[in-house]
Amino acid sequence: MIKKDDLELKMKQFDLAMSPPDTEPERQYFYMAKAKKTVSELTKKLGRKPTFCVVTFGCQMNARDSEKLAGILEEIGYIDNGEDENSDFVIFNTCTVRDNANQRVYGRLGVLKNYKKKNPDMRIGICGCMMQEQSVIEKMKKSYRFVDLIFGTHNIFKFAELVANMLESDDMLIDIWKDTDQIVEDLPIVRKYPFKSGINIMFGCNNFCSYCIVPYVRGRERSRNPEDIIREIEMLVADGVIEIMLLGQNVNSYGKNLDEPISFAQLLQRIEQIEGLERIRFMTSHPKDLSDELIAVMRDSKKICRHLHLPLQSGSTRILEQMNRRYTKEQYIDLALKIRREIPDISLTTDIIVGFPGETDADVDDTIDVIKKVGYDNAFTFIYSKRTGTPAAAMENQVPEDVVKRNFNRVLETVQQTSKNRTVSFLNQDVTVLIEDMNDQDDTLVTGRMSNNTIVHLKGDCSMIGTLQKVHLDECHGFYYIGHVID
């Protein structure tokens, strides 16, 4: 992240008739200046500033990437109108964890094709995890020739360079990297919220769970230097951010590949020292390497939120082995209960997959047993999605759809009951709530989150957004509370 004034000074230093620098991020500053000149000419042609829209599919890592795309587009002269059909430049930042995400992208592209016919100046770009699949690229070349720009997850830092080249060409531009060890700092970002922000602390994944496409599309683990992370958070806090979310496919692996290794727990301790920062969140944690050191740091922290997302995926040791998760049912339960003993007010949430190849009713019984013993505050429950290129996709004994749906409903019912039991335990307590937005259903209410991530609705107005409020919890409605501010 870089301050706007500093970036503009850097962009002005370039002679655009010269060759671009070879070093990063200076090379991208050069291309931002170049693209800005082209967009200025487009502005004169249109008689207005050209518009853009970034549409994000998938996880919070993608959401953070989209903020980087938006930051560069605004810097070169586009304005965000939030409407993909009516924008001059549309970017789809894609996810490929489940097949339905791919189908949604194809459907949206079909709609945009007609809008592009009406607007000859319209540009369409697609990036993200879905673009790292060769079969997708071949489909784009064959059936979606109207797309202007295609790139993947590893070269998102090159976005300014790609846009500058795209604006000077009428051909489809494809730039896909198989992998990278590069991490480029100090690029512009536009945040969705002024008071909270996601922070990438690492990229990629080394775990190779047998059902998961992520290591193949995100690449191997790469950790950012702690000094760069601290510097970015300090800049965000100076700009009004009071809550940060540390992001990584497995934050517990942070720092292992650095020249001077540092543990995730040690990074958290350094971040906690930053004055003005009120809340620290993070995700995701792999159970196989969640350390006692991390539990102790969370327990003793005044800023780390009382919420831990700890994906289970299955409660069956047999299925966990097939998934390559590298822990057993018993090890997971012991870890979860240890966390509950050390941090009694912690909220534990999880991910569960139903219908993994070879899964039986007895395996699902094991999953239900774990849910009951751990008592999750919430769970994201998914039906197994076959992803070409993963070991699980080639496994025999794919579970029939009717069996999967029946077991999915069994798991969901158990999760809902345990979640309600956990949520209601805070009734009539006084808690601190970060007010995040106006309520979607009632404009006399604002909506916020407790430290444990539980939603709270209360009377208020827009002046409260971004503030921490002391709130009494009056009513529990299953998964959220109604409360009031304590004077």
Q: What's the 3-state SS for the chain? A: CCCHHHHHHHHHCCCCCCCCCCCCCHHHHHHHHHHHHHHHHHHHHHCCCCEEEEEECCCHHHHHHHHHHHHHHHHCCCEECCCCCCCCEEEEEECCCCHHHHHHHHHHHHHHHHHHHHCCCCEEEEEEHHHHCHHHHHHHHHHCCCCCEEECCCCHHHHHHHHHHHCCCCCCEEECCCCCCCCCCCCCCCCCCCCEEEEECEECCCCCCCCCCHHHHHCCCEECCHHHHHHHHHHHHHCCCCEEEEECCCHHHCCCCCCCCCCHHHHHHHHHCCCCCCEEEEECCCHHHCCHHHHHHHHHCCCECCEEECCCECCCHHHHHHHCCCCCHHHHHHHHHHHHHHCCCCEEEEEEEECCCCCCHHHHHHHHHHHHHHCCCEEEEEECCCCCCCHHHHCCCCCCHHHHHHHHHHHHHHHHHHHHHHHHHHCCCEEEEEEEEECCCCCCEEEEEECCCCEEEEECCHHHCCCEEEEEEEEECCCEEEEEECC
Q: What is the mean pLDDT of residues 262-268?
A: 97
Q: What is the mean pLDDT of residues 100-128?
A: 91
Q: What is the mean pLDDT of residues 463-469?
A: 97
Q: What is the mean pLDDT of residues 288-315?
A: 97
Predicted local confidence at residue 12, as pLDDT: 86
Predicted local confidence at residue 97, as pLDDT: 82
Q: What is the mean pLDDT of residues 362-373?
A: 98
Is a pLDDT exceeding 80 seen at residue 387?
A: yes
Q: What is the mean pLDDT of residues 416-428?
A: 91
Predicted local confidence at residue 485, as pLDDT: 97
Closest CA to 465 of 438, 431, 486: 438
Closest CA to 73 of 179, 173, 190, 241: 190
Predicted local confidence at residue 417, as pLDDT: 92
State both tokens at 435.
């007010």
Q: What is the mean pLDDT of residues 328-334?
A: 98
| pLDDT tens digits, one per residue of 14-56 | 888 899 999 999 999 999 999 999 999 999 999 999 999 999 9
Instruction: Return the amino acid letter for 298.
Output: M
Alpha-carbon span 58 to 470, nearest angstrom:
33
Q: What is the mean pLDDT of residues 350-354?
A: 97
Predicted local confidence at residue 351, as pLDDT: 97
Band (248; pLDDT cuts 50, 70, 90): very high
User: Which long-range contacts (C-beta less than 8 Å, at least 24 apart) are formed by 16-20?
Assistant: 20/161
Per the prediction, the chain carries an average pLDDT of 94
Alpha-carbon span 116 to 235, nearest angstrom:
39
Predicted local confidence at residue 223, as pLDDT: 96
Band (348; pLDDT cuts 50, 70, 90): very high
Contact 349, 378 (CB under 8 A): yes
Predicted local confidence at residue 203, as pLDDT: 93
Q: What is the mean pLDDT of residues 432-444?
A: 94
Is a pLDDT exceeding 90 seen at residue 96?
A: no
Band (364; pLDDT cuts 50, 70, 90): very high
Q: What is the mean pLDDT of residues 84-110?
A: 90
Contact 2, 8 (CB under 8 A): no
Predicted local confidence at residue 101, as pLDDT: 82
Predicted local confidence at residue 316, as pLDDT: 98
Band (79; pLDDT cuts 50, 70, 90): very high
Predicted local confidence at residue 98, as pLDDT: 79
The torsion defined by the Cα of 101, 102, 104 and 110, in degrees rounded to 10, comes to: 170
Predicted local confidence at residue 479, as pLDDT: 86
| pLDDT tens digits, one per residue of 190-238 | 998 999 999 999 999 999 999 998 888 888 999 999 999 999 999 999 9
Predicted local confidence at residue 311, as pLDDT: 97
Is a pLDDT exceeding 80 seen at residue 487?
A: no
Beta bridge partners of 128: 94
